[in-house]
Amino acid sequence: MIRLSKSVVGKAESAAVAHVIEDIGYLGMGSVVHDFEEALENYIGGGYRCICVNSGTAALHLAVQAVTQPGDEVLVPSFTFVSTYQAITGAGCKPISCEIDPKTLTLDLKDAEKRITPKTTAILPVYYASNITMVEAYQKFAKDHHLRLIEDAAHAFGCSWKGKKIGSFGDVVCFSFDGIKNITSGEGGAVFTADPDIINKISDARLLGVMKDSEKRYAGKRSYDFDVVAQGYRYHMSNIFAAIGLVQLGRFEKEFAPKRRYIARKYTELLKDNPNVELIPMDYDDSIVPHIFPIKVLNGKRELLIERFKELDIQYGIQYRPNHTLTYFKSGYALPVTEDVFSKIISIPMHPELTDENIRLITDTINGI
């Protein structure tokens, strides 16, 4: 089987976990989480603070909660994983489903602008397939309309814009470190921001709202005489997750990022002349680290391709079903561009352990339909 995605972990990650269990002895949130946050801050740069949590969804949820009030509306592309929407509703807000651009597959700001109401307080764009080309446009849009900007960068860890890493500038940026992301901590996520109010809110909220508990846990202590002034959750990261993340971060620039770029470039080279395929227009240079590789299959050929993939035991993904079509998030209006993209999109395997032979079989199969 050729996997669509996979965790690339080994002896170094196992040794790091064993060190936490056998030598440190405390598996919960402690000094290793602090070390991981510092390492991430140093890698991303820009002086922004990093707050680690136990999932990308938790990062988004706490970010939305920190900058909104219940009942607020948040502009968001329908074409995203359901976690983005659950984060918004989890904070008591209403997701306002917006169109995507048919080429970039990211939030269409002209459509979003039409959906602004007096209740709109934030915009939550998604860097789908590591496409960060609209980052400055999102910032201008948020500023022009007096909105908070929460960037869902789950697909964009390690990407840079004009020499600056995503997460080193902007308002609030959220990453995911789940098992198949650009780096993994097993499960995990992080929020990056320079806003001291958001830093304090999220730091407390991830630990059940216990005020200033992070600092005590980093020092190996616990809070017993404490106060809680806002809703909190059990969203903190564990030392075990952080230990895996630290090893992965150390492998990222030398192993994972170059291989992901190589695969994306090979796919582009081998598929660009196929009349039945439309690629996302991206340059996979050193500023981009692709997380997934989606293509649009044209001329009604997607089902045929799926059958061929099944015959050859090649995994594929349909990422993602538009949220405005889900029962819980139904919008009451159509998004024809998004719906058309969903009818054609398919993700092909993307992970650092793909071989040239795998890549050739995948592209030959696509070119053969």
Give the domain ranges of the chain: 11-98+106-247, 252-367
Common-topology check for domains 11-98+106-247 and 252-367: no
Residue 223 has pLDDT above 90, yes or no: no
pLDDT digits (tens, 9 = 90+) for 26-42: 999 999 999 999 999 99
In the predicted model, what is the mean pLDDT of residues 88-108?
98
Q: What phi and psi, each to the nearest 5 degrees, are found at residue 63? A: -65, -45
* Whole-number percent of the chain with pLDDT over 70: 100
Q: How many CA atoms lie within 13 A of 48 on its CB side?
A: 26
pLDDT digits (tens, 9 = 90+) for 138-176: 999 999 999 999 999 999 999 999 999 999 999 999 999
Query: Rg for the chain (alpha carbons), in Å?
Result: 21
Identify the DSSP state of 100.
B
- Are 284 and 292 a contacting pair, CB within 8 Å? no
Dihedral sign of CA atoms 204, 210, 216, 222 in order? negative
Q: Which of 20-24, 27-31, 221-225, 345-349 has the lowest mean pLDDT?
A: 221-225
Rounded to whole angstroms, how far apart are CA atoms 65 and 261?
35
Rounded to whole angstroms, how far apart are CA atoms 134 and 128?
11
Per residue in 291-300, is it b (16+ CB within 10 Å) or e — as a string?
bbbbbbbeee
The pairs formed by 305-313 with CB atoms below 8 angstroms and a separation of 24 or more are 305/346, 305/365, 305/366, 305/369, 306/346, 308/365, 308/368, 308/369, 309/365, 312/2, 312/361, 312/365, 313/1, 313/2
Distances (CA, A) of 254 to 86, 260, 337, 352: 35, 11, 38, 11
pLDDT of residue 14: 98
Computed over every residue of the chain, the mean pLDDT equals: 97
Residue 108 has pLDDT above 90, yes or no: yes
* Whole-number percent of the chain with pLDDT over 90: 96
Dihedral sign of CA atoms 241, 60, 66, 131 in order? positive
In this prediction, residue 212 has a pLDDT band, given cuts at 50, 70 and 90, of: confident
pLDDT of residue 221: 79
Q: What is 252-367's CATH number? A: 3.90.1150.10
Rounded to whole angstroms, how far apart are CA atoms 138 and 326?
26
Which residue's structure tokens are 């291989």?
A: 259
Distances (CA, A) of 118 to 73, 74, 122, 148: 9, 11, 11, 14
Residue 215 has pLDDT above 90, yes or no: no
> What three-state secondary structure class fits 77?
strand
pLDDT of residue 71: 98
Residue 214 has pLDDT above 90, yes or no: no
Measured at the alpha carbon of residue 281, what is the angle toward residues 5 and 285, in degrees to the nearest 5? 70
Tokens of 211: 């005020």
Distances (CA, A) of 7 to 101, 182, 220, 351: 31, 9, 30, 8
Q: Which of 154, 175, 128, 166 is nearest to 294 (CA)?
A: 128
Q: Which of 315, 306, 307, 262 is nearest to 285 (CA)?
A: 262
Rounded to whole angstroms, how far apart are CA atoms 73 and 327?
19
In this prediction, residue 219 has a pLDDT band, given cuts at 50, 70 and 90, of: confident
Q: Angle, to 10 degrees, between the axis of helix 356-367 and the axis of helix 302-312?
A: 140
In this prediction, residue 218 has a pLDDT band, given cuts at 50, 70 and 90, of: confident
Q: Where are the beta strands (DSSP E) in 66-196?
A: 73-77, 94-98, 120-123, 148-152, 160-161, 164-165, 172-176, 189-193
Identify the DSSP state of 237.
P
CATH level 2 (architecture), domain 11-98+106-247? 3-Layer(aba) Sandwich (3.40)
pLDDT of residue 222: 79
Q: What phi and psi, each to the nearest 5 degrees, are found at residue 101? A: -75, 135
Rounded to whole angstroms, how far apart are CA atoms 115 and 136?
20
